[in-house]
Structure 1
Amino acid sequence: MKKIFSAGMFVLIYLAVYYVFQYTYIIVATTYYYVSDTKLQNLEVMDWLNNKLPSAIVFAAAISFLVYAWIVKASKKKDIFDYCKFNPISLQKTTALVLAGLSLVSLNALVVVGISMLLPEAYEAHVENMMGLTSSGGLWMIFSVGLAAPFIEEVMFRGLITNELDKVMSYKWVLFIQALLFGLYHMNVAQGIYTFILAIFMGLTLHWTNSIWAPMIIHIANNLSSALMSEYIDASSDIVNIGFGIWIGLSLLFILPFTLKYLYKTRSEWTSEEY
């Protein structure tokens, strides 16, 4: 029981750190601009806050990683890169992981379509949330959503939290709980559902490769491709929609099953952390 309580406390701390720094940045930035920029009074506050989200993500990711590194060093007496299993993986596996990440965009799209039919209010909230997140546009948005967020989220969920849970339960339960936490963390029903599914795949590839690079590559490929499409692709184009439809079919019927089968058949031995 003592080990379970300890693991639970560390999980809560890891979750709180990133949230605290992200919202601290937004609060400080909002206060500063309210005081120094009178033009802010004439802007829609939510639009302004949405424009600050990419900066908040990058700031929170950088500071949180330093804090996580300190926590691991102080409490586990280990380097965070070793503790979170930043183990090298082959070029062949990297290629398979990129393809898996791109294919999971198709799965996400189908899940969102299903949600739009079954839970229309949740779908509308999801669309509003995504529009707010990508409204700032530009390379900074792509960097924050496509690189910074996946990096720190993988360190947090598939690195630190997975290690804590793995000490006190079987990996089947670890797989489920880390995915559940990942879904709840997004605080949006529609996004929570498809990120739960995504986290199952990412947790499996972590287990199969014994390297956090596996879920991180999938996560980056997934987020980065979505961010690039939202920025540079015309979603109203018939040609684009036809091409995406073809990709959905190919990726779900052939590419995703093939890459997952390859990763499973070439799996490495999983190493658990000990207290």
Structure 2
Amino acid sequence: MKRKLSILLTAIFAVLIYIIIQSGVQFIYTFVIYFQNISHDTELSGAALKAIFSMKQKKELLSLVAIILTSIIFYYKYYKDNTIRKIANITLKKCGIKQIIHMIITGISVTVLLYMIMLFLLEQGMVPNEEINLMEMSQSNLILAVITVGVIVPIFEELLFRGLVYGSFKHIFNPWLAITIQGAIFAFIHKSGVQCVYTFLLGIIVALYYHWNKNMIYCFVIHIIFNIFGTYILPYFFWSKDKIIFFTVTASILFIVSLLWQRKLIDVTQ
């Protein structure tokens, strides 16, 4: 019981470190910009708005800084600890062409389905209409945004949530409960409303594929496709009713194909 509690607290503490550093970096940047503006702008509210706007414009850069700082701490606190490494048991395996195709089909179908679900929920007013895109992004530096939001953030979050958090929880709970809890925590660190809904579903789906394949590469590929496709492609479509039906049906078929393919992969490994 004591060991399980220690594992649980280790995983939760890792998530808290990430939240604190990310929030701290944004706060410090906003604080510095605010005092730079206050000397030129006598209106306090005006300086505050400029600082917040500047922080949002630099969100990708600040996220990158937060991830670098968090990774340094994780390396010295967690990775060098052999006990924690054995608990998390992050597995990276070589993938063949068929597996890569399977990952791509899964990533695209999951992204489209979740996007269609979000469009439906937003249209029905079932979640706050805080953002239409799957991810909130700044257009100030597209290349930096794609690299950070599209690649670095997904890899880091998969190592943290599916690697350390889920890897720890499966030693405490049964796999399905561990998958659900880590999905809820993954959703919690994101914004409320629509983003909270789709990150919860994404967290569960990616964890399931990691559970089935025991390969973190699956998590990386699915999450990267989700962020890039869902951020820089789908939001810029003109969504008519016919297009929504077509994409939903097509994505559903592809997802079923992915699940059947996954079942075949499990049968082969067994």
Task: Give the TM bin, normalised by the shorter chain.
Answer: 0.7 to 0.9
Aligned residues: 262
TM-superposed CA distance for 1:67, in Å, is 2.0
Q: Which residue of 1 is the match for residue 129 of structure 2?
A: 124
Q: Which residue of 2 is the match for residue 255 of structure 1?
A: 254
Give 1:138's aligned amino acid: L
Runs of at least 4 residues of structure 1 off by over 6 A?
none
Give 1:235's aligned amino acid: F
Q: 1:210·1:269 contact (CA, 8 Å) conserved in 2? A: no
Q: Which residue of 1 is the match for residue 111 of structure 2?
A: 105
CA distance 1:78–1:176, change in 2 (3 Å)? closer
Q: Which residue of 2 is the match for residue 273 of structure 1?
A: none
Give 1:124's aligned amino acid: N
TM-score (norm 2): 0.84
1:228 equivalenced with 2:227 (yes/no): no
- What SS class does the counterpart of residue 247 from structure 1 fall into? helix
Q: Quick one: percent identity of the two aligned structures?
A: 16
* Separation in structure 1 between the aligned mates of residue 260 and residue 82 of structure 2, nearest angstrom: 35
Q: Which residue of 2 is the match for residue 184 of structure 1?
A: 188
Which has the larger displacement, 98-107 or 86-95?
Answer: 86-95
Match of 2:47 among 16, 41, 44: 41
Q: 1:89·1:211 contact (CA, 8 Å) conserved in 2? A: no
* Separation in structure 2 between the aligned mates of residue 237 and residue 266 of structure 1, nearest angstrom: 35
Q: Which residue of 2 is the match for residue 211 of structure 1?
A: 215
TM-score (norm 1): 0.82
CA RMSD of aligned residues (A): 2.9
* Separation in structure 1 between the aligned mates of residue 236 and residue 201 of structure 2, nearest angstrom: 27
Question: After superposition, where does 1:1-275 map in structure 2 within 5 Å?
Answer: 1-36=1-36, 38=40, 41=47, 44-77=50-83, 83-120=89-126, 122-127=127-132, 130-131=135-136, 133-136=137-140, 138-229=142-233, 234-236=236-238, 245-252=245-252, 254-267=253-266
* Separation in structure 2 between the aligned mates of residue 237 and residue 168 of structure 1, nearest angstrom: 44
Give 2:146's aligned amino acid: I
- What SS class does the counterpart of residue 180 from structure 2 fall into? helix
TM-superposed CA distance for 1:117, in Å, is 4.3
- What SS class does the counterpart of residue 124 from structure 1 fall into? coil
Runs (5+) with no aligned partner, structure 2: none
CA distance 1:137–1:235, change in 2 (3 Å)? farther
* Separation in structure 2 between the aligned mates of residue 152 and residue 97 of structure 1, nearest angstrom: 18
TM-superposed CA distance for 1:226, in Å, is 1.7
* Separation in structure 2 between the aligned mates of residue 109 and residue 26 of structure 1, nearest angstrom: 28
* Separation in structure 2 between the aligned mates of residue 42 and residue 8 of structure 1, nearest angstrom: 39
TM-superposed CA distance for 1:75, in Å, is 3.4
Q: 2:106·2:255 contact (CA, 8 Å) conserved in 1? A: yes
* Separation in structure 2 between the aligned mates of residue 11 and residue 211 of structure 1, nearest angstrom: 20
- What SS class does the counterpart of residue 108 from structure 2 fall into? helix
Q: 1:93·1:263 contact (CA, 8 Å) conserved in 2? A: no
CA distance 1:184–1:78, change in 2 (3 Å)? closer
CA distance 1:211–1:41, change in 2 (3 Å)? same
